[in-house]
Amino acid sequence: MSHIILEARDIRYRYPRGPEAIHGISFHVRRGEKVALVGPNGAGKSTLLLMFNGMIRPDLGTILIDNEPIRYDRESLRTVRKRIGFVMQNPDRQIIAPTVYQDVAFGPTNLGLSEQEVKGAVEKSLRLVGLSGFERRPPHQLSGGEKKRVAIAGILAMDPDVLVFDEPTSGLDPSGSEDIMELLDELNQQGKTIIISTHDIELAYPWAERAILLLNGKILQEDVPDIAFGDQDLVRKARLSMPTLLELYLELERRGFHLPGRKPRTVLDMINIMDRAFRNKPCYTEPGTISLVDVDSPNGVDLSVWRSSNPGVPIGGMGTRAKQYAADRMIPLDFTYGVIDKCILKALLGEDSLIIITGSMVQRVHERVDEFCRENQVCIRVSNLSKDGNR
Amino acid sequence: MYDELLEDIAQENGLREVNTYTKLAAGLGGILLCLLSTSFAAPLFIAVALSLALLTIARIDAKTYLKIFVGPAIFALFSVIVIILISGGGEIFWRWQPLPWLSLSITRVSINEGLFVFSRFLGGMSSLVFIALTTPMTDLFAVMRRARFPAEVLDLAMIIYRTIFLIMSHLVLVYRAQVMRLGYRSIRESVHSYATLCGAVFIASWESGEDLVRAMEARCYDGKFAALGEGGPVRLRPALAVFSFLVISAGIVVATRHISFM
């Protein structure tokens, strides 16, 4: 198990002239984890997050980074803020410069990087969030989702180890929210540790590896999401509602259906559980193939040829650059979020599918499909067209 | 209150990617030549040439362009009328003395003078609008940095630029909320609503100042503000076009130096 990168030890904090906002919270986050802090408004989520990069100093208790307590002198805080990037809820409050380039360059410039290094960092982070070409645009002309991406790029340009997001999807439409969550997955896949705060339990449930339920400045429950969100009383107490899939699963169980396997986190999990419970096998036909087109691979694949020889095959996009690639070539995407699961669902129906994918996510597809196949004794073929040639 | 801002037009005009210095040369050169010209012809030529460039190459909407001109044009017209009526000399076409110490007249010299001032207004205004509509502030910041403006002034200007739009959007929100609840129904109510609007915007700008400090702190602010990378390089065609425009205008300035309207 990887080592602890961030730890809170018995944190207490009271706002000036206000009630105590945080009442003795202790928890830790391991390197590479995806953690969701979930709780109603006023639970203390944002206050807690602001402590991670030293923006708020706890009255009592310690925040540790790599087992070293945070020191609050100017120089130490700079190091902390370089390592722990904080993306605010409202991007308008985070974006300070008159153009996208200047805003993303703000952090690296102040870290003392040379002009060339700053330029490189800005280009890299804008590419990561899919905003290449936006350098000279002023922020007030961007949409909510684009502003959010600029804010994220501004933090990524400082190359932090941990990314802390306060309500990453607030104010975004469902598709924008899915894009941001997918971006968080992509960043996690590249080795970043990610902590989010949210009250959107449906969003946190399939995404997080660990969920921390907060209420009135205290931790109510801390566990894997299906356990953290699986207790009806606790969830109600935290003024939240149980994820629909989990509720459906528990209701079926209460009605005497014996459901095998772990609790479902995605539609695929649920379908699989039901198939196995009621039909005793996950797949009735020869499973379809999932083809991958890696946009970062030097072996280009002519997608127009592929599409004309495979008409009607659904196409998913994984990763910001892959979606950009599809948009540039006017390829309509059928799936943009939860793509692997949706392709597995197609494969189980005997249908083929294609994923246009960013290089760093290829491994993730193989892992997820292999894991599914192992658990369910089926064999779904994943073929990387960029590697195997255009077949 | 909901009108498109000049800055927004500038960000999307057809000459956006042309090198900033090239555009500034056309605009500033135009203003300078208008000032140097002693005849109405060169300023008129500059006004026509730059307006055509704005309407056709920069694809600025003609209605918007006219609207920009209307306000200053009313002022200019008043001034021109006063000049025509008050200044004298040469053949007198019309004369009226309403008061013993006030005499109004229209003369050959005064008409020439009025037309000259008005053409200068047209030329100067088109040159200025040319800069405003083709070169966004963000590009001008880069030029100012290059021109070694004090960093403190420039950083402050950039922050103000960014904040203006935030405060503007807040202002529009509050104003709409007031209109929706009939806040401007009577004069009395309008005064009250306007005062509340000012108060709300003041508080919002105060808060956004605090947010700004926090946002800068969170990103390791150390007194540095990144400069915007250079815009497009100087390209031959636009540079040549601007050069020929300036040469032709200068030629007209010289050739028409003794020519007047009447």
ipTM of the complex: 0.77
Give a yes or no: residue B260 inside a domain. Answer: no
CA count, 13 A, side-chain hemisphere, B187: 0
Would you call A138 and B136 a contact, using CB atoms and an 8 Å cutoff? yes
From chain A, the residues in CB contact with B158 under 8 A are 97-98, 102
Q: Which of B15, B89, B99, B21 is nearest to B57 (CA)?
A: B15
Give a yes or no: residue B224 inside a domain. Answer: no
Q: Are residues B159 and B75 in the same domain?
A: no
Neighbours of B186 (CB within 10 A): 10
Which residues, including other chains, have CB under 8 Å from residue A201's CB and lie 6 or more apart?
Answer: A38, A229, A235, A240, A241, A242, A243
Q: Are residues B47 and B72 in the same domain?
A: yes
**What is the tally of structural domains in chain B?**
2
Q: How confident is the model at residue A298 (pLDDT cuts 50, 70, 90)?
A: confident
Q: Are residues B185 and B82 in the same domain?
A: no
Mean pLDDT of B27-36: 95
Question: Cα separation of B25 and B243, whole Å?
Answer: 9
What is the DSSP pairing of strand A20-30 with strand A4-14?
antiparallel
Q: Are residues B174 and B120 in the same domain?
A: no
From chain A, the residues in CB contact with B11 under 8 A are 137-138, 141
Mean pLDDT of B237-246: 94
Would you call A98 and B138 a contact, using CB atoms and an 8 Å cutoff? yes
Residue A120 has pLDDT above 90, yes or no: yes
Find the length of chain B.
262
Residue by residue, DSSP assigns A185-244 as: HHHHHTT-EEEEEES-HHHHHHH-SEEEEEETTEEEEEE-HHHHTT-HHHHHHTT----H
Q: Which of A336, A211, A325, A192 is nearest to A263 (CA)?
A: A211
Question: Cα separation of A164 and B109, whole Å?
Answer: 74
Task: Return the percentage of chain B with pLDDT > 90, whole number.
Answer: 50
Mean pLDDT of A87-101: 90
CA distance A97 to chain B (A): 6
CA distance B93 to chain A (A): 55
A168-222 pLDDT per residue, tens:
988 888 888 888 888 898 899 889 999 999 988 888 899 999 999 999 999 999 9
Q: Answer whether B227 touches A (CB < 8 Å).
A: yes
Give the chain B residue nearest A74 (alpha carbons): B220
Q: How confident is the model at residue A283 (pLDDT cuts 50, 70, 90)?
A: low
Residue A325 has pLDDT above 70, yes or no: yes
Q: Indicate the residue type of A14.
A: R
Give a yes or no: residue B1 inside a domain. Answer: no
Judged by phi (left if over 0) then psi (alpha if -120 to 50, else beta), residue B182 lies in: left
Best of A92, A95, A123, A125 to mutate (most B CBs within 10 Å, chain B)? A92
Which pTM was predicted? Answer: 0.83
Q: Are residues B17 and B127 in the same domain?
A: yes
Would you call A109 and B224 a contact, using CB atoms and an 8 Å cutoff? yes
Q: Are residues B150 and B128 in the same domain?
A: no
Q: Are residues B51 and B129 in the same domain?
A: yes
- Out of A93, A99, A112, the one facing B138 most closely (by C-beta) is A99
Domain assignment of residue B84, given as a range = 6-135+233-255
Neighbours of A285 (CB within 10 A): 10
Give the chain A residue nearest B231 (alpha carbons): A136
Would you call B225 and A106 a contact, using CB atoms and an 8 Å cutoff? yes
Q: Are residues B53 and B157 in the same domain?
A: no
Q: How confident is the model at residue B182 (pLDDT cuts 50, 70, 90)?
A: confident
Q: What is the DSSP letter of A170?
A: T
pLDDT at A194: 96
- Out of A92, A96, A136, the one facing B138 most closely (by C-beta) is A136
Mean pLDDT of B181-196: 91
Q: Are residues B127 and B248 in the same domain?
A: yes
How far is the CA of B139 from the CAs of A5, A138, A388, B249, in angstroms?
42, 11, 47, 26
From chain B, the residues in CB contact with A107 under 8 A are 219-220
B106-116 pLDDT per residue, tens:
998 999 999 99
Mean pLDDT of A134-148: 89
- Out of A96, A108, A135, the one facing B229 most closely (by C-beta) is A135
CA distance A102 to chain B (A): 5
A230-272 pLDDT per residue, tens:
888 888 888 888 999 988 888 888 888 777 777 888 888 888 8
Q: Is B229:B138 a contact under the CB 8 Å cutoff? A: no
C-alpha R_g of chain B: 24
Task: Return the percentage of chain A with pLDDT > 70, whole number.
Answer: 97
Would you call A53 and B218 a contact, using CB atoms and an 8 Å cutoff? yes
Q: Are residues B105 and B185 in the same domain?
A: no
Give a yes or no: residue B52 inside a domain. Answer: yes
Give a yes or no: residue B195 inside a domain. Answer: yes
pLDDT at B2: 43
Give a yes or no: residue B227 inside a domain. Answer: no
Give a yes or no: residue B201 inside a domain. Answer: yes
Q: Are residues B180 and B56 in the same domain?
A: no
Give a yes or no: residue B117 inside a domain. Answer: yes
Mean pLDDT of B14-18: 88
From chain A, the residues in CB contact with B162 under 8 A are 95-98, 138-140
Mean pLDDT of B206-232: 83
Tokens encoding B24: 């500034």
Q: What is the DSSP letter of A331?
A: P
Would you call A96 and B162 a contact, using CB atoms and an 8 Å cutoff? yes
From chain A, the residues in CB contact with B136 under 8 A are 138
Residue A48 has pLDDT above 90, yes or no: yes
Q: Is B111:B81 a contact under the CB 8 Å cutoff? A: no
Q: How confident is the model at residue B55 (pLDDT cuts 50, 70, 90)?
A: very high
Q: Answer whether B69 touches A (CB < 8 Å).
A: no
Q: Answer whether B169 touches A (CB < 8 Å).
A: yes
Residue B92 has pLDDT above 90, yes or no: no
- Out of B137, B208, B214, the one facing A98 most closely (by C-beta) is B137
pLDDT at B224: 83
Q: Are residues B62 and B167 in the same domain?
A: no
pLDDT at A390: 44
